[in-house]
C-alpha cells in the first residue's frame, strides 16, 4: 500500500470504528465562503477513488461556459471528526480538492490555486508557513436592521458580559485544539466586544484550511450561546476594525530562509527580496486580501490599521512589520503582513502574498529604506516627499490596480482573476448606487 | 504485529515451534543484506539471534542492526553456557539473553517482558503507555478510555513515538520514518504535528511528548529518568 492508500484505509476504518453517520465534504468558493455537502459512509470509498460529482454552476466563481459539472475529491489527511453533535450522531468533515471530470485540477477552486503557488515555491526549494492573528467581534445578534450591539462596553449586558465573552473564547479555543488547530495566544482586543485568537504556524495550505474551520467554529460556538460572531472588517464606526495580521516565513528544509546571522538585523537576502516583492505588489493584491467594500473602512488613518506601503521593525502604521528575532531562535525569523482582514479568502490571500514575495526574491528587488517615524503623524505632503505610497482607498481603486497586474493574473489563474474582478466590480456598482445614512444625516436637512 | 527477525537461516526447529506457539510472527534471516531486503515497511518488531550456532555471524549481525539510525530493538540473544564470557563488552548488542538450548516457557516470558518494556504490551496489536492506548489493528487511539480523534499523520506520528518510549528522535528521523521521503513539508512539519498532537492530548497529557532542546522529541520518560 502506498501512503495515500494507507491514509484512505485509515479514514475508512475510523469511520467504521467511530460509527460516523455522515461525512461533510468541505470546499471553498472564490469569495472564501465555505461550501459543503454531505455523503454517507458507504459513499466515502467511492469518493476517494473517483470523487463526488456535482454541478458547480451555482457556486460563486465555479461557473464555466461549457461543462458545469466538477468532482470533489476528499483529501484524506484533512479528515476530522466534528466535535459537535448534529442530530444524526457523529459526523466528520474532510476538505476536498475540486477537479474536472478528467481528473485535472479545476482552476476555479481556491485550494487548487494555492496548491499551484505552493508547488512553484517548492520547485525553488521553499516551503511557506503562515500564522494569522484572527480578530472578530461578538454582537448580541446578526440583525442588520439596527446597529450591532457589543456584548460588553456600552450599556449592553452590563454586569456579566465580560464573562460571557471570555467563556465563549475559551470554549472556542478548546474546540479548535480538539480539532488539531493549536492556538498560540488569545485576548480581548481594544474595541468593545472585539477578540483576537492567534493560530500557531503551519504550512500555508493547512493554515488556509484551518482559517476556514476557525471561522466556522467561532460562529458555531457563538451561535450555540445565542450571540453572533462576525469577521466583518469594520462593523462599528469610530473604533478599530478586525484585521488578520499574518506572520509568514519561508523555510529551505530545516533552515529558516529569512534568517542570516551575518546581517545586522538577522534578515537574509531572501527575506529582503520577499519584503521588497510584497511591498512592490501590495497595491495589486489588496483587492484579494481586503475584498469587500467594507474592508476599506478599516484601512484608514488611525485605529492601528496599516495603510502605508513601507516596512519597519515594530511599527504598526506600516503594512510589513518585522518582529525582532529572539536571541538563539533563528527559526522565529518572519515578517508580519498587516493588511489582510479576516473576511478574505485565505487560499487566495496566501497565494497572492506568496507570489508577490517570491517575485521579489527571484528578480532581486531592492528593499526600500526602513521607515522610522510613526507615519500616521506625517502629512500627505511628507509622505509624498518620502516616496511612501498608501494602499488603495476603496474596493474600486484596488480593482483598478489589480486589473493591470500580470502577477495577479498569473498567481490566481485567468479563470479566478477574471471572475473575481467581474464579481467585485458588480459589488462596487451595487454599493455606489446606494444612498447611505451618512448622506441623509448630512445632506437631507441642509441641502 | 510485524515479524521478528530470527537468525540463523534455517531456524532451529525447536525455536520456530516455540515462536509459533507463543504467537509471534517471524522471518528467518541469514545475513545483514537479507535483513535489509526482507524488512517490513514498519520495521522489524525485534530480533532473536542464536549465537550458539554461528557466533561470528550472529555478533556481526547484531552489531550491524544496532548501528543503524534506528537501532533494532528489542534484541534477544541465545547463547550457550560456554559463551557467557563472550558477552562482556558486547552489552550494547542485545537487550536480554537466554541460555541455549532454551526452555520454551522461559523464552516466551523473556520476549513478553522485552516487548512490555518497549511499550508493545502483552497484546501485540496494542501499544500502551500510561493512560494512552493505540490499537494498531483498528487504527484507534484512546487516552484514559476516551477516544482521540487523530488525522492519519497524527496517528502515525503518535504510533511511532509511543512504540519507542524514552527514546529521543531528531526531526529528520521522524520525518523520514513517519512521513517517508516523498514528503516536501520540511522538518518543520514535525513541529507542527507535535503541537497538534499535544493540543489533542489535552493539557493534562500534552507532556507525554517532551521537547528535547536542540535535538528533537521524546515520548514518555527518559530511560535514565532525566
My answer on whether B110 and B39 are in the same domain is yes
On whether the CB atoms of residues A287 and A424 are closer than 8 A, the answer is yes
Report pLDDT digits (tens) over A44-76. Answer: 999 999 999 999 888 888 887 677 899 999 999
Same domain, B157 and B135: yes
The nearest CA of chain A is from the CA of B222 a distance in Å of 25
Residue A11's closest chain B neighbor by CA? Answer: B152
Mean pLDDT of A239-267: 91
What pLDDT is recorded for position A155?
A: 40
* Measured distance CA(B61)–CA(B55) in Å, rounded: 10
Task: Kindly tell me if the per-residue pLDDT of A407 is higher than 50.
Answer: yes
pLDDT of residue A158: 41
Reduced DSSP (H G I as helix, E B as strand, rest coil) percent helix, strand, coil of chain B, to 5: 40, 20, 40
**How far is Cα B153 from Cα A211, in angstroms, rounded to an integer?**
20
pLDDT of amino acid B217? 93
Q: Which residues of A touch B185 (CB under 8 A)?
A: 127, 203
- Do B80 and B142 have their domain in common? no
Q: How confident is the model at residue A94 (pLDDT cuts 50, 70, 90)?
A: very high
Query: Per-residue pLDDT averaged across A91-115, rounded?
Result: 95
B92 and B144 part of one domain: no
Predicted confidence at residue B183, as pLDDT, reads: 60
| B78 shares a domain with B166 | no
Task: Check CB contact under 8 Å for B199 and A182.
Answer: yes
B19 pLDDT band, cuts 50/70/90, is: confident
- Residues B132-160: tens digit of each pLDDT: 999 888 888 999 988 898 998 899 999 99
pLDDT-derived band at A4, boundaries 50, 70, 90: confident
Cβ-Cβ contacts under 8 Å for A77 (sequence gap 6 or more): A7, B151, B152, B153
Cell digits for B178? 513517519
Residue of chain A nearest B171, judged by CA positions: A254
Asked, for residue B86, whether it belongs to a domain, the answer is yes
Nearest to B185 among A11, A127, A331 (CB): A127
Cβ B140–A14 below 8 Å, yes or no? yes
pLDDT exceeding 90 applies to what percent of chain A? Answer: 70
- The per-residue pLDDT for range A325-367, each reduced to its tens digit, is 877 777 889 999 999 999 999 999 999 999 999 999 999 999 9
- Average pLDDT of the segment spanning A102-124: 95
pLDDT at B55: 92
Query: Residues for chain B: how many in total?
Result: 226
Number of domains in chain B: 2
Instruction: Give the containing element (helix H, strand E) for A22.
Output: strand A22-28
Query: Which residues of chain A neighbour B196 with C-beta distances below 8 Å?
Result: 180-182
Class of domain A3-106: alpha beta
Measured between beta carbons, the chain A residues lying within 8 angstroms of B149 are: 14, 18, 80-81, 83, 178
pLDDT for A280 equals: 97
Lowest mean pLDDT among A14-28, A255-269, B120-134: B120-134
pLDDT band at A227 (very low <50, low <70, confident <90, very high): very high
The rounded distance, in Å, linking the Cα atoms of A238 and A252 is: 44
Q: What are phi and psi of B180, to 5 degrees?
A: 85, 170
pLDDT at position A439: 96
pTM recorded for the entire structure: 0.80
Whether B185 has its CB under 8 Å from any CB of chain A: the answer is yes
Query: Which residue has better confidence, A272 or B122?
Result: A272
**Residue A187: what pLDDT?**
82
Q: Do B27 and B101 share a structural domain?
A: yes
Using alpha carbons, select from B174, B216, B186 the residue that is nearest to residue A202.
Answer: B186
Tell me whether B25 touches chain A (CB under 8 Å): no
pLDDT in tens, A34-46: 999 999 999 999 9
Chain A neighbors of B184, CB-CB under 8 A: 122, 127
Residues B51-74 have a mean pLDDT of: 90
Interface size A-B, in CB pairs within 8 Å, comes to 75
- Region A211-224: what's the mean pLDDT? 95
Sheet holding B168-170, edge to edge: B168-170, B216-219, B209-212
More confident residue, B36 or A151: B36
User: B12: domain range?
Assistant: 4-117
Task: List, for residues A299-321, the tens digit of each pLDDT value.
Answer: 998 777 888 899 998 777 789 99
pLDDT over 60 at A159, yes or no: no
3-state secondary structure A392-442: CCCHHHHHHHHHCCHHHHHHHCHHHHHHHHHHHHHHHHHHHCCCCHHHHHH
Helix (H, G, I), strand (E, B) or coil at A70: strand
Is some CB atom of chain A closer than 8 A to the CB atom of B198?
yes
Is residue A113 within 8 A of residue A416, CB to CB? The reply is yes
CA distances from B220 to B41, B83, B118, B169 (A): 24, 36, 11, 12
Written as nine digits, the cell of A231 is 469577521
Mutation pick from B155, B199, B215, B216 vs chain A, by most beta carbons of A within 10 Å, is B199
The DSSP string of A196-243 is EEEEPPEEHHHHHHHHHHHHHHHHHHHHHTT-EEE--S--STTS----
The residue with cell 503623524 is A377
**What is the CATH number that goes with domain A116-413?**
3.30.590.10
Q: What is the distance between the alpha carbons of residues A139 and A228, in angstroms, rounded to a whole number? A: 5
**The predicted structure's pLDDT at residue B226:** 38
Q: Is the pLDDT of residue A157 over 50?
A: no
ipTM metric: 0.76
User: From residue A321, how far is each of A161, A204, A207, A245, A331 by CA, in Å?
Assistant: 34, 19, 20, 10, 17
Q: Report chain B residues whose CB lies below 8 A from the CB of A182.
A: 195-196, 198-199
Q: Look at residues A350, A358, A138 and name the one whose alpha carbon lies nearest to residue A227.
A: A138
Q: In terms of Cα–Cα distance, which of A164, A165, A188, A184 is closest to A176?
A: A184
User: Which domain CATH number covers B106?
Assistant: 3.40.50.2300
Domain extent listing, chain A: 3-106, 116-413
pLDDT at B203 over 90: no
Please indicate whether, in this complex, the C-beta atoms of A14 and B185 are within 8 angstroms of each other: no
The arithmetic mean of pLDDT across residues A394-402, rounded, is 97
* B104 and B29 within one domain: yes
User: Does the distance separating the beta carbons of B195 and A17 come in below 8 Å?
Assistant: no
> CA A258 to CA A241: how far, in whole Å?
30
Q: Strand, coil or helix: what is A123?
A: helix
Contact: A129, B188; criterion CB under 8 Å: yes
- The reply to whether B34 and B82 lie within a common domain is yes
CB contact under 8 A, A79 and B151: yes
Of all residues in chain A, what percent are helix, strand and coil, respectively (each to 5)? 40, 20, 40
Task: Give the bridge partners for A102, in sequence order.
Answer: none
A31 against B178, higher pLDDT: A31
pLDDT band at A85 (very low <50, low <70, confident <90, very high): low
Q: Note whether residue B192 is domain-resident.
A: yes
Band of residue A167 on the pLDDT scale cut at 50, 70, 90: confident
Residue B204 lies in a domain: yes
Residue B108 is inside which H or E element, if any? helix B104-117
Q: Residue B119's pLDDT is what?
A: 61
Least confident of A434-438, B40-44, B129-133: B40-44
Most confident of A180-184, A215-219, B212-216: A215-219
Cβ contact (<8 Å) for A127 and B192? no
> Residue B73 pLDDT > 70, yes or no?
yes
Answer whether residue A282 shows pLDDT above 70: yes
Residue B202 and residue B110 in one domain: no
A5 versus B28: which is more confidently predicted?
Answer: B28
- State percent of chain A over pLDDT 70: 93
Range with lowest mean pLDDT among A231-235, A291-295, B37-41? B37-41
| Range ranked top by mean pLDDT from A246-260, A279-293, B47-61, B77-91 | A279-293
Test mutation, B140, B153, B180, B185, chain A, max A CBs within 10 A: B185
| B42 and B136 inside one domain | no
- pLDDT > 90: percent of chain B: 40
- Which pairing describes strands B216-219 and B209-212: parallel, antiparallel, or unpaired? antiparallel
Rounded Cα–Cα distance for residues A226 and A220 (Å): 10
How many beta carbons lie within 10 A of that of residue A12, not counting itself? 17
**Three-state secondary structure of A267-315:** ECHHHHHHHHHHHHHHHHHHHHHCCCCCHHHHCCCCCCCCCEEEEECCC
Looking at chain A, how many residues does it have?
447
Strand B96-99 and strand B75-79: the pairing is parallel
> Nearest Cα to A338, choosing from A274, A395, A377, A290?
A290
Instruction: Kindly report the number of other CB atoms within 10 A of residue A319's CB atom.
Output: 27
Residue whose C-alpha cell reads 513515538 in the numeric block:
B161
Query: What is the torsional sign of CA B163, B168, B170, B171?
Result: positive
CA distance A398 to A290: 9
Does residue B225 form part of some domain? no
B78 and B60 in one domain? yes
Do B108 and B131 fall into the same domain?
A: no
Report chain A's mean pLDDT, rounded to a whole number.
90
Q: Do the domain assignments include residue B108? A: yes
Give the ranges where A60-192 is alpha helix by DSSP (H).
110-123, 161-178
pLDDT mean over A125-146: 94
Residue A400 CB-half CA count within 13 A: 8
Amino acid at each position: 500500500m502506498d501512503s495515500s492508500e494507507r491514509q484512505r484505509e485509515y479514514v475508512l476504518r475510523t469511520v467504521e470504528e467511530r460509527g460516523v453517520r455522515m461525512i461533510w465534504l468541505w470546499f471553498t468558493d472564490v469569495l472564501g465562503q465555505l461550501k459543503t455537502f454531505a455523503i454517507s459512509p458507504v459513499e466515502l470509498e467511492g469518493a476517494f477513488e473517483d470523487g463526488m460529482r456535482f454541478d458547480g454552476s451555482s457556486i460563486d466563481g465555479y461557473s464555466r461556459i461549457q461543462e458545469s459539472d466538477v468532482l470533489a475529491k476528499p483529501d484524506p489527511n484533512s479528515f476530522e471528526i466534528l466535535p459537535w453533535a448534529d442530530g444524526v450522531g457523529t459526523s466528520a468533515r474532510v476538505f476536498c480538492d475540486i477537479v474536472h471530470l478528467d481528473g485535472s485540477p479545476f482552476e476555479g477552486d481556491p485550494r487548487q490555486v494555492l496548491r499551484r503557488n505552493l508547488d512553484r515555491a517548492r520547485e525553488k526549494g521553499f516551503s511557506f508557513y503562515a500564522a494569522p492573528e484572527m480578530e472578530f467581534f461578538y454582537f448580541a445578534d446578526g440583525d442588520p436592521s439596527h446597529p450591532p450591539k457589543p456584548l460588553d462596553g456600552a450599556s449592553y449586558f452590563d454586569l456579566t458580559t465580560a464573562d460571557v465573552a471570555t467563556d465563549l473564547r475559551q470554549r472556542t479555543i478548546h474546540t479548535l485544539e480538539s480539532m488539531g488547530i493549536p492556538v498560540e495566544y488569545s485576548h480581548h482586543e481594544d474595541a468593545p466586544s472585539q477578540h483576537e485568537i492567534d493560530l500557531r504556524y503551519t504550512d500555508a495550505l493547512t493554515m488556509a484550511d484551518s482559517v476556514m474551520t476557525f471561522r466556522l467554529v467561532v460562529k458555531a460556538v457563538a451561535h450555540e450561546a445565542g450571540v453572533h460572531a462576525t469577521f466583518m472588517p469594520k462593523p462599528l464606526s469610530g473604533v478599530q476594525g478586525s484585521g488578520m495580521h499574518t506572520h509568514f516565513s519561508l523555510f529551505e528544509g530545516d533552515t529558516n530562509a529569512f534568517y542570516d546571522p551575518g546581517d545586522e538585523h538577522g534578515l537574509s537576502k531572501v527575506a529582503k527580496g520577499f519584503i521588497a516583492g510584497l511591498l512592490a505588489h501590495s497595491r495589486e493584491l489588496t483587492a484579494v486580501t481586503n475584498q469587500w467594500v467594507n474592508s476599506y473602512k478599516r484601512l484608514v488613518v488611525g485605529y492601528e490599521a496599516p495603510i502605508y506601503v513601507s516596512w519597519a521593525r515594530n511599527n504598526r502604521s506600516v503594512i510589513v512589520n518585522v518582529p525582532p528575532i529572539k536571541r538563539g531562535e533563528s527559526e522565529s525569523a518572519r515578517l508580519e503582513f498587516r493588511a489582510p482582514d479576516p473576511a478574505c479568502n485565505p487560499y487566495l490571500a496566501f497565494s497572492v502574498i506568496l507570489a508577490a514575495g517570491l517575485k521579489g526574491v527571484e528578480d532581486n528587488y531592492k528593499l526600500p529604506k526602513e521607515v522610522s517615524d510613526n507615519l500616521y503623524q506625517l502629512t500627505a505632503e511628507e509622505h509624498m516627499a518620502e516616496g511612501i505610497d498608501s494602499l488603495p482607498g476603496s474596493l474600486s481603486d484596488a480593482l483598478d490596480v489589480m486589473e493591470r497586474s500580470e502577477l495577479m493574473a498569473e498567481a490566481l489563474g485567468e479563470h479566478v482573476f477574471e471572475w473575481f474582478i467581474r464579481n467585485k466590480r458588480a459589488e462596487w456598482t451595487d454599493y455606489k448606487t446606494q444612498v447611505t445614512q451618512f448622506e441623509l444625516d448630512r445632506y437631507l436637512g441642509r441641502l | 504485529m510485524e515479524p521478528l527477525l530470527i537468525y540463523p537461516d534455517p531456524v532451529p526447529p525447536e525455536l520456530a515451534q516455540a515462536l509459533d506457539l507463543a504467537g509471534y510472527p517471524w522471518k528467518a534471516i541469514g545475513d545483514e543484506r537479507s535483513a535489509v531486503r526482507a524488512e517490513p515497511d514498519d520495521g522489524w518488531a525485534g530480533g532473536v539471534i542464536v549465537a550458539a550456532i554461528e557466533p561470528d555471524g550472529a555478533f556481526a549481525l547484531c552489531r550491524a542492526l544496532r548501528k543503524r539510525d534506528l537501532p533494532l530493538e528489542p534484541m534477544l540473544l541465545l547463547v550457550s553456557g560456554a559463551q557467557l564470557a563472550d558477552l562482556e563488552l558486547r552489552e550494547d548488542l542485545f537487550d536480554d539473553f537466554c541460555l541455549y538450548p532454551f526452555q520454551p516457557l522461559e523464552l516466551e516470558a523473556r520476549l513478553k517482558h522485552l516487548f512490555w518494556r518497549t511499550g508493545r504490551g502483552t497484546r501485540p496489536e496494542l501499544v500502551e503507555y500510561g493512560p494512552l492506548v493505540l490499537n494498531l489493528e483498528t487504527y484507534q487511539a484512546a487516552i484514559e478510555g476516551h477516544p482521540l480523534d487523530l488525522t492519519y499523520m497524527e496517528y502515525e506520528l503518535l504510533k511511532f513515538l509511543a512504540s519507542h518510549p524514552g527514546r529521543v528522535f531528531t526531526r529528520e528521523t521522524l520525518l523520514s520514518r513517519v512521513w517517508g521521503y516523498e514528503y516536501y513539508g520540511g522538518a518543520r512539519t514535525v513541529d507542527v504535528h507535535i503541537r497538534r498532537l499535544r493540543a489533542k492530548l489535552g493539557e493534562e497529557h500534552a507532556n507525554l511528548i517532551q521537547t528535547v532542546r536542540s535535538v528533537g522529541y521524546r515520548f514518555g520518560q527518559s530511560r535514565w529518568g532525566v
